[in-house]
Amino acid sequence: MRRPARLALTAVLAMGALVSCAEEPGANGSGGDGAGKVAFLMPDLASTRYERYDAPLFEKRMGALCEECEVIYRNADSDASLQQQQANSAMAQGAEVIVLDPVDSDSASTIVQTAHSQGVKVIAYDRPVTKKPADFYVSFDNEAIGESIGASLIGHLEKSGAKGGLLQVNGSPTDAAAGLIKKGIHKAIDDSDFELLAEYDTPDWSPEKAQQWVSGQIAQYPGRIAGVVAANDGTGGGTIAAFKGAEVKVPPVTGNDAELAAVQRIISDDQYNTISKPIKTVAEAAAEAAHQLMEGRTPEADSTLFDTPSQLFEPTVVTRENLKDVIFGPDGVLEAEDVCTRVYADDCRRLGIE
């Protein structure tokens, strides 16, 4: 997204949105009536998913649970200080629960501490809060994501007889989820036959910064890069752009999030894999947990992470081999008409996607 458009969108988001919702019949609360305000605070605009999927899906599920609830939605555009202000503003407006995808997993502990001092519950969403336990955490298993994309790439390189080393393009150094993905990637690649040439923690998950770094590595390791483990589709897209800009053959590149552009790159064979983690799953789970907390109930956890009761879902690796079934099947996340535009129509037909 070009900067002027980002600024305009940020200004709109800063105004927020109040969304009405519908109550689940027969819901009984032990400590409240389940009605009230809930804040949904997302971290950045670099990933298109928050505007396209997370916020609308969360709002829709709240709409099926609570007729008299209001959702206060904000996006911090990678600004931890702005996110703190947004949280304070939401609490001042009477939010009883904050669903927080932190810009900075460490400093977000201040948001949790302030919320708890005011009797406000906090659900960490997608990214954990590391230094102050939230009341609940909803996410996909990020370490498993890293291990899955790394193992998938290594298997592909071994099968194809590729030679050379790897680049590792991690996510933001202030995002604990990125740290978990990074840990999972290392579990997959450290004992492989492919040398790790270099790795990079990408500030703000910025595709542009990932592209700049990879461009430098292409010049430093000419002809030696067999594959790139990129932690999400944005950094993967930046990586691919770097190889194309250098007019060098693009090696297999990983991703994560199954963004529309990444699915198109897989269809055209520019990107090797991504992770399908249906955002509907986590958005709805977060809405349900928020409503339970508003009613005075305790959401059911299946694990604990950073001393926080957690609900972690399993990811699915997507390549050209299973893309049709996973992305466009009965539980798929995209529509063929949106993906298979004129540029990708022929490749879609070859994969049986119509």
Closest by alpha carbon to 169, among 243, 225, 231, 107?
231
Residues 212 and 338 in one domain: yes
| CA–CA separation, 308 and 217 (whole Å) | 39
Residue type, 347: D
Identify the domain containing residue 261 by its residue range.
142-277+316-350
CATH number at residue 43: 3.40.50.2300
Q: What is the pLDDT along the chain (354 residues), one digit of tens a residue?
A: 333 434 334 443 444 443 333 333 333 333 455 679 999 999 999 888 899 889 999 999 999 999 899 999 999 999 999 999 999 999 999 999 999 999 999 999 999 999 999 999 999 999 999 999 999 999 999 999 999 999 999 999 999 999 999 999 999 999 999 999 999 999 999 999 999 999 999 999 999 999 999 999 999 999 999 999 999 999 999 999 999 999 999 999 999 999 999 999 999 999 999 999 889 999 999 999 999 999 999 999 999 999 999 999 999 999 999 999 999 987 777 899 999 999 999 999 999 998
Specify whether 272 is located in the same domain as 284. no
Q: What is the dihedral of CA 211, 216, 221, 222, to 10 degrees?
A: 80
- The sign of the torsion formed by the CA atoms of 137, 138, 140, 146 equals negative
Specify whether 12 is located in the same domain as 24: yes
Residue 192 has a pLDDT of: 97
Residues 6 or more apart in contact with residue 309 via CB below 8 angstroms? 135, 136, 137, 299, 301
Residues 181 and 322 in one domain: yes
Number of domains in the chain: 2
What is the pLDDT, as a whole number, of residue 48? 82
Residues 271 and 205 in one domain: yes
Mark whether 20 and 168 lie in a shared domain.
no
CB environment 275-310: b (16+ within 10 A), e (fewer): bbbbbbbbbbbbbbbbbbbbbebebebeeebbebbb
Asked whether residue 190 falls in the same domain as residue 336, the answer is yes
344 and 204 share one domain: yes
The pLDDT value given to residue 13: 42
- Say whether both 333 and 193 belong to one domain: yes
In a shared domain, residues 261 and 126: no
Based on the fold, state whether residues 212 and 126 are members of the same structural domain.
Answer: no
Residues 67 and 18 in one domain: yes
